Amino acid sequence: MNGQITRVALLGVFLFAAALYMPIIGVAASFFIPLIFVYFRTLMGRKLGAVLLVATMLVLIPVVGGVGFNLFYFFEYALLGFFLGEFLEWGLSIEKTLGFAVVGTIVTGVLIMLMYSASKDASLWDLTLQYLTANLELTIALYRKLGVPAENIRPIIDSKEVIVRTFLFVIPSIWCVVAIVAAWINILAGRKLLVANGFYFPDFGPLNRWKAPDKLIWMLIVSGVMLAIPVTAFKFTGLNGVIVILTIYFIQGIAIVSFFFEKKGFPIMLRVFFYLMLLNHAVLFLVIGLGLFDLWANFRKLDVEV
């Protein structure tokens, strides 16, 4: 057990270091930070798990340059892992476990950010705008350092203000999407880690047979209608709603693909190649389409399969 604790702790150090000092790989590494806190929340219990979370953030304060958005970035991933560990113990359904963890993380994050903005005597909108602008400038500097041709960087520089304000418009849904995808990934990874170490893990059944509630399609339709109304508040709500709901159908699409990979016995390398292809927008939207149209097509024939 001590050896396993050491390995998980070292994995946590690596993930935090990668997220801090490896800009591209770090984004992917960040998605697995919750796994560390799922494990230690399960191992240590609620109180000691919370102490570990707070202690980790205190250690990170000087590393990330003080209290601010960078610290908040890591806090949200760590908090998501803590909440996942909490709700996994409750033996809820996969939807409730993921949903409660995501909502708990986002609500807590919003409250903390509001308190942070109040302490700075500035609006959360302005602080977020400043943060996004600074990060876009860092991205441009990184492109230059990597030797990206100036003509490829110029359109980004010329459209910097538009890019930042567009991203600001959809940041609520981006926040939700990251939390949902990270929660799903860490539930899958957490099952292997916790079961291998003899901890309790709810029996969610084969997750490649999971499907979204049928009523979700009506939420997508309503969000689409709101998006078409020429009023900023409706467009804001509709666009963010569409992005979040399509993410849920994306997860269903991935479940469908995984189901057929398993059924047909596809080799591991081919599966990995396909998942890497999700970086291509065409493949990404194809998977979303699979999840969406599964409502009518029932690709996996779940209602007739024994």
Q: What is the pLDDT along the chain (306 residues), one digit of tens a residue?
A: 677 888 888 988 899 999 888 867 888 899 999 999 999 999 999 999 999 999 999 999 998 888 888 899 999 999 999 999 999 999 899 999 999 999 999 999 999 988 888 888 888 888 888 888 888 888 888 778 877 788 778 888 888 888 888 888 899 999 999 999 999 999 999 998 999 888 999 989 888 999 999 999 999 999 999 999 999 999 999 999 999 999 999 999 999 999 999 888 888 888 888 888 887 888 899 999 999 999 899 999 887 544
* The dihedral sign for the CA sequence 97, 103, 106, 108: negative
Rg (CA), the chain: 21
CB-hemisphere CA count at 13 Å for 25? 7
Strands (E) in 157-283, as ranges, are none
Q: Catalogue the long-range contacts made by 286-290 (C-beta closer than 8 Å, 24 or more residues apart).
A: 286/253, 287/250, 287/253, 287/254, 287/257, 288/246, 288/249, 288/250, 288/253, 289/253, 290/252, 290/253, 290/256, 290/257
Tokens for 248, please give them: 């849920």
- CA neighbor of 131 nearest in space, from 61, 75, 58, 73: 73
Please classify residue 83 by burial: count the beta carbons closer than 10 Å to its beta carbon, then call 0-12 exposed, 13-18 middle and 19+ buried. buried
What's the confidence (pLDDT) of residue 304?
58
pTM > 0.75: yes or no? yes
CB-hemisphere CA count at 13 Å for 133? 9
Tell me the one-letter amino acid at 171.
I
What's the confidence (pLDDT) of residue 36?
95
* Domain range summary for the chain, segments of one domain joined by +: 1-203, 206-306
- The DSSP call for residue 90 is T
- CA neighbor of 83 nearest in space, from 57, 114, 107: 107
